[in-house]
Chains A and B, each alone.
Chain A
Amino acid sequence: MAIRSAEPIATLDPEEARWVKAMQAGDRAAFARLIRQYQSVILAYGLSMLGDEALARDLCQEVLVTFWRDRGAYRHQGKLRAYLLTIARHRGLAQLKRQRSSERLQRATAELPMVPVRTPLEEVQTMQQRLRLRSAIQDLPPDRAEVIQLRFVLGLPVAEIAEIVGVPVGTVKSRIGRGLAGLRQELSHED
């Protein structure tokens, strides 16, 4: 049942701190290295947040350019990943705000055929049902969907999520719990 070995939250490791320092001093090579290190997690985050591949790429680029431009702003507290994802979150939310109205209308509300009662275990076996999991996550209240994505799709530790979202750890945990309960209900839909 264990699905991943999540890495424990830690402060910046010394090796990485060196790179960040070099980058803050204007070292482009160090910046390039950090880009390579972090672009996929930002991309993944962007994709799960915005649901659009092109937008996710734009977001990632924006975040990294901002990181370079405001490179003095990053102090060596906490993880760089959390810092970058916090930027991504702010920009992504602004993006969503702009698009929400139109996008909501466009999202296909495909009526699923009467789906027989199955256990979630059976559900996730097939592609179609994985799509259902995605859409079920989207249907959760945004604050819960967000933590579920961060926790299980990006695999971030709870403490880091708390840092990114800007709420206490306990709140993250309870949101995850309610989110899971919501998903379970959604996917079981015993009627």
Chain B
Amino acid sequence: MKTEACQALADETRWHEWLQDGLPESLRAHADQCADCAAIIRDLEGLGQGFGAMAAETAAWADSFDLTESVLQASEPRSGRAWGPWLAGALAAAAAILFAVWPASSGFEVDSEAGASWRGRTLKPGVTQVFAPGRLLASLGRAQVRGDDVQANLPRNSALDIEGPGAFSGLVGTVRFHSTQPFVVRGSTYRLEAAGQIEVAEGDEEIAKMVSRKGVLGSAAVVALVYAGWGSLQSGSSEVRGQAPVVLAIDAAGKVSSSPLDAKAGSVGRGRPGVAVSASGGQALRAAGAAGQDEAAEPSSGAYWSEDEQALRFAIQGEVIDSVSGEPVSDFTVRAQAKSLQGYGPEHHELSRTRKAQGKFRLVGLSAGTWRITARAKGYAPVSQVVDLQDVGTDPYVVLPLSSGARLSGQVVDARKRPVAEARVGLVACFGAKGHSLKTCDLQTTGADGRFTLQGVPADAAFAVRAEHPRHGFVVQPGLRRSEGESEHIVLELSGRLRVYGEVTRGPDKTPQPGVRVVNGDESVSTLTDAQGAYTMIVPLENRAKVHVVVPGTHGADVKFGSYPERRSSEAVRWVQAEGYVAEVQKDFWLAVDSARLFGQITDDAGAPVGGVSLRLWNTTGWHKGRRGHQTFPERTTTDAQGRYSIEGVPAQAGYTMAYISEDGTKTDLGYVNVKSSQPVQADFQIGRGRIRGRFVDSQSGEPFRLSRQGCGSMFGAERLGPQGYFVAPRCLEDGRFEFEQLPPGDYRLHAKMGWLESTVKFEATDVSVGPGQVQNEVLVPVSGAQADEWTFRVLDDSGRFVPSLYLRMLAKNRSYTSSLGLGSDGLVKVTINRSFDEVFIDAQGYESAKVRLKGREPGALIELRMRRVKSEGP
């Protein structure tokens, strides 16, 4: 049996079973009878704990994200079923800023924020960018699409490039676009501009409304079928327009023609290889027979044709000056907003390519229309000007005078009128979409008294101020108006309230739990979940706004599952304007199907119960359907006078770590415990980790005894006495001192492990007893034999360079001992060597060994060595 057990233990293919299920007692009983078995068990236990900790770390990280929204968005289908009837054409979705591309290689859209990055790329702010793995496909409303199945909402004035040798032949599947704005689809042989819907399909006659050919059959270069509205085709020399239903065509020579279309909608292109292009509902449908004109890069003045965007682009020039002195302002930003029916759109970051020499700038890449240009600089009030872009001849020139504006002082207070320090205050426009502030904006942080002063507030114009604090909420004060130089005090009150909402579910199916009580930390606010298990409550937004869900325990008493809202930073908490300005955070509770009572006793090393011990239990393992469900721990408890503890409602099918918190707040792990079912689980622990500090002394004189590094670290150690004994090596400090840390309570013998050094140095075995949490200082370990000296080497090669990666080799009792040497920053190598060695060898790869005779040298003296390179053999 013994042999079998030993063999079984040594069989590494079975280790993982034991890591999972625990070592069978039958094997454990034999553990100390065979060589190495105790070590294997010990090591596996260590690994098990390490894995547990890693799993917990990883799980905690993974649980901190919710990608649901972004995945849903990225996989958003642009439903194809509504495409057939042309009457849908006029109902094309409103111009979407969102651009979702879905090629076979699974790209997804990223709506970037300033400073964000994706796979190492820095994203341009405010630009919708479309990626496939490793490939940037589109930016700034321009897309190059490769793939089988592409569905896109095109932003205003965007261009879509279809790559491939010609037309849409590179595509296999379907391309669909819809946009109420003019956009361009460009192939290598033609360009098609349209508003409304376009459909590119292969051989799908049902939905084909326009067919494109590039002279493969017959002479047609482009054929368009217009079902609804009207369309036009244009080549270099002529243009033809037609009222639906009509067929428009351009032949290879560029000649355009039209003919009435009969009811056989799909007849054109039927039965031929190729791709159908259809368009409907367009106000202007134009296909040109040739590729886009070659245009020079943006000229120094005037509108230009942007080859990138396949559109006419305008520029604005101007300068930013100080309104009082007339001097140019050097550090400023200028941004442009396009005017639309809804008012001014978002500020175009990308287009603000300014040239700041002497306050001058030129914004390029603007489309035709009305733009509002805003200049900002620190210490000045922002100033705007509206510019109409129509004239293609020259750039409009605008002068933006910045005045220092009015001053606004005030104070930020919380709901109880107490001043709030560290709140951020500024003009509303200075707060970006996700809290990023503009560089040239004056954003203040309140001092301890909550006060702030904003310079450069717009004078004689309405403005709004915003204050926010991650733990007190935010407030916007609109409709402020100040005259130049006027100053007035305002008070901004932060609501200090947090809306917590979420759902309470149970079990793997996440069954909603109606009627469960949810309370905040001091139970001043409480609510019940509704029929769907959802709850919402507004709690004071204090430093640590706790939320608990209260469920009946197995022993009558209620069990409180508690958690802080995990996301408390200003970024993660959403500010919403509901019932006043409140912060909002989601907190879902997911309860286990079964829970058990965990109880046990805490004893000290001697087995005596320890009362009043502060314990902490938290969930470390336990994956339920791929997810660690029970985020509701940690639980804290304290032992009673008999050292007993009991925790109700511990979710089953999970593993937990128990730790105790000592009075100084340090946490020490006691061990792991598994809760498998609703059966009560008993887990007893011993507390206390001790520490031994001491030094080596000469057994004769009692003077400090200097050991070589090898002598201390490898050979000397503490052996735990008892059946589960093992050997712990110390941390070796300077001057012959050593330290053992994190020792479980017990009796230890400090002595030498077997080894060659025993012959030269003899440790007197010293027994030390360590109680729970006890620190044994100044343990003296007498040593006799040869002390070590510290030597310093400088090792250079033939050419006078330092030799890296040195090894020290010593010979003792027919055995050589090698250790690596660290090169100091000064190029010197310091090493302690036992005096019993008369000579040592210095090795390095690629060099001949160097023998160093130590005997007769002054200890501590610098030894210079030259090492010779090994002559390479052969070529």
Interface string of B827-851 (1 = CB under 8 A from A): 0000000000000000000000000
Decide yes or no: A48 and B58 within 8 Å by CB, A5-B655, A37-B627 being known contacts: yes
Distance from B111 Cβ to chain A, minimum over Cβ atoms (Å): 13
Q: Does A145 contact B (CB under 8 A)?
A: no
- Docked Cα-Cα span, A36 to B62, in Å, equals 12
Residue A177 at the chain B interface, CB threshold 8 Å: yes
User: Taking the complex as formed, is B654 at the interface, i.e. its CB lies under 8 A from any CB of chain A?
Assistant: yes
B34-47 Cβ-contact flags toward A at 8 Å (1 or 0): 00000111111111
Q: Which of B16-24, B696-704, B766-774 contacts A (4 or more CB under 8 A)?
A: B16-24
The interface residues of chain B lying within 8 Å CB-to-CB of A111 are: 822
State A95–B22 Cα separation when bound (angstroms).
Answer: 37
Contact status A1-B75, CB under 8 Å: no
Q: Which of B296-304, B331-339, B669-677 contacts A (4 or more CB under 8 A)?
A: B669-677
B108 adjacent to A40 (CB under 8 Å): no
Q: How many residues of B contact A (CB 8 A)?
A: 83
**CB atoms of B726 and A7 under 8 A apart:** no
0 or 1 for each of A146-163: is its CB under 8 Å from B? (1 = yes): 000001111100100000
Q: Tell me, yes or no, whether A164 is within 8 Å of chain B by CB.
A: no
Contact: A133 with B626, CB < 8 Å? Answer: no
Chain A residue with the shortest CB-CB distance to B675:
A5
B16, A6: Cβ atoms closer than 8 Å: no
Known contacts: A7-B653, A40-B627, A57-B67. The answer to whether A153 contacts B58 by CB under 8 A is yes
Known: A7-B623, A65-B106, A133-B54. A176 touches B66 (CB 8 A): no
**Bound complex: CA of A98 vs CA of B66, how far in Å?**
27
Task: Check B102–A39 contact: CB distance below 8 A.
Answer: no
Partner of B49, one of A35, A39, A121, A178: A121
* Residue contact B20 to A6, C-beta cutoff 8 Å: yes
Q: Chain B nearest CB: distance from A54 CB in Å?
A: 8
Q: Does A76 contact B (CB under 8 A)?
A: no
Determine whether B624 belongs to the interface, using a CB cutoff of 8 Å to chain A.
Answer: yes
Q: How far is the CA of A176 from the CA of B51 in the complex (A)?
A: 13
Q: Which of B42, B62, B63, B626 has the most CB of A within 10 A?
A: B626
**Cβ-defined partner of A4 (8 Å) among B52, B70, B713:** B52
Any A CB within 8 A of the CB of B15: yes
Q: Is A75 an interface residue (CB 8 A)?
A: no
Of all chain A residues, the one with the shortest Cβ separation from B38 is A119
A174 within 8 A of B: yes
Q: Are B43 and A47 touching (Cβ within 8 A)?
A: no
Indicate whether A143 reaches chain B with its CB closer than 8 angstroms: no
Chain B hits for A187, CB < 8 A = 43, 46-47
Residue from B19, B65, B119, B653 within 8 A of A1 (CB atoms): B19
B67 x A3 contact (CB < 8 A): no
Tell me if A53 counts as interface (CB < 8 A to partner B): yes
Asked if A9 CB lies within 8 Å of chain B CBs, one says no
Q: Which A residue's beta carbon lies closest to that of B742?
A: A125
Q: A35-B71, A68-B75 are in contact. Are A155 and B50 (CB under 8 A)?
A: no
A157-191 interface with B by 8 A CB criterion: 158, 173-174, 176-178, 180-181, 183-184, 187-188, 191
User: What residues of A have a CB within 8 angstroms of the CB of B59 in the complex?
Assistant: 40, 44
List the A side residues contacting B68 at CB < 8 Å.
32, 35-36, 39
The answer to whether A174 and B13 have CB atoms under 8 Å apart is yes
Q: Are A177 and B46 in contact (CB under 8 A)?
A: no
Contact B12 A180 (CB under 8 A): yes
Q: How many residue pairs between the two chains, A and B, have CB atoms under 8 Å in the bound complex?
A: 241
Interface residue ranges of A116-131 to B (CB < 8 Å): 116-126, 129-130
CB distance from A150 to the nearest CB of B (A): 11
Interface range for A: 35 or more
A28 at the interface (CB under 8 A from B): yes
Beyond A1-B22, A40-B626, A123-B50, is A181–B12 a contact (Cβ under 8 Å)? yes
Is the beta-carbon distance between A130 and B713 smaller than 8 angstroms? no
Which stretch of B238-246, B269-277, B727-735, B866-874 is in the interface? B727-735
| Residue on A nearest B511 in the bound complex, by CB | A15
Contact A3 B20 (CB under 8 A): yes
Within 8 A of A (CB), among B344-377: none
Partner among B13, B22, B65, B714 whose Cβ is within 8 Å of the Cβ of A2: B22
Is A114 positioned at the interface, with any CB of B under 8 Å from its CB? Answer: yes
- CB of B55 closer than 8 Å to a CB of A: yes
Find A41's partner among B62, B106, B133, B731 (CB 8 Å cutoff). Answer: B62
Task: Check: A66 CB closer than 8 A to any chain B CB.
Answer: yes
B289 within 8 A of A: no
A98 close to B54 (CB less than 8 A): no
Per-residue 0/1 for B655-688: is the Cβ within 8 Å of any A Cβ (1 yes, 0 no)?
Answer: 1000000000000010010101000000000000
CB pair A188–B43 under 8 Å, yes or no, is yes
Check: A81 CB closer than 8 A to any chain B CB.
yes
Indicate whether A60 reaches chain B with its CB closer than 8 angstroms. yes
How distant is B772 from chain A, measured CB to nearest CB, in Å? 16
Q: Is the CB of A191 within 8 A of B672?
A: no
B19 touches A3 (CB 8 A): yes
Contact yes or no, B14 A177, CB < 8 A: yes
Q: Is the pair A124, B14 in contact by a Cβ cutoff of 8 Å?
A: no
Q: Which of B53, B622, B732 contacts A116 (CB 8 A)?
A: B732
Q: Which of B46, B70, B623, B717 has the most CB of A within 10 A?
A: B46
Report yes or no: A155 in contact with B44, Cβ–Cβ below 8 A. no
Given contacts A31-B72, A37-B626, contact A180 B47 (CB under 8 A): yes
Task: Determine the residue in chain A with the shortest Cβ distance to B77.
Answer: A26
Least CB separation from A148: chain B residue: B51
**Is B54 a contact partner of A117 (Cβ separation < 8 A)?**
no
Please give, as numbers and ranges, the residues of chain A lying within 8 Å of B732 by CB-CB distance: 114, 116
CB pair B727 A117 closer than 8 Å? yes
- The chain B residue with its CB closest to the CB of A176 is B16
Nearest-neighbor residue (CB-CB) of A173 within chain B: B13
Shortest Cβ gap from A38 to chain B (Å): 5
A35 touches B15 (CB 8 A): no
**Which residues of A from 17 to 71 have beta carbons under 8 Å from B?**
26, 28, 31-32, 35-41, 43-44, 47-48, 53-55, 57-58, 60-62, 64-66, 68-69
Q: How far is the CA of A126 from the CA of B731 in the complex (A)?
A: 14
CB distance from B463 to the nearest CB of A (A): 38
Contact of B23 among A1, A55, A121 (CB under 8 A): A1
Min Cβ gap B42→A in Å is 5
Interface pair B16/A158, CB less than 8 Å apart: yes
Q: Does B326 contact A (CB under 8 A)?
A: no
In the bound assembly, the distance between CA atoms of A69 and B148 in angstroms comes to 12
- Bound: A14/B655 CA distance, A: 27
Across the interface, do B67 and A41 meet the contact criterion of CB distance under 8 Å?
no
A117 x B20 contact (CB < 8 A): no
In the complex, the answer to whether A124 meets B53 with C-beta atoms within 8 Å is yes
Please tell me if B647 contacts chain A, counting CB pairs below 8 Å.
no
List of B residues within 8 angstroms of A32 by Cβ? 68, 72
Flag whether B446 is at the interface (Cβ < 8 A).
no
Query: Besides the contacts A55-B119, A120-B46, A154-B58, what 7 more A-B pairs have beta carbons closer than 8 Å?
Result: A39-B65, A61-B108, A116-B729, A119-B46, A124-B53, A133-B50, A180-B19
A-B contact pairs, 12 of them (CB 8 A): A3-B19, A3-B655, A7-B623, A61-B67, A61-B70, A61-B71, A121-B45, A153-B51, A154-B58, A177-B15, A178-B12, A191-B714
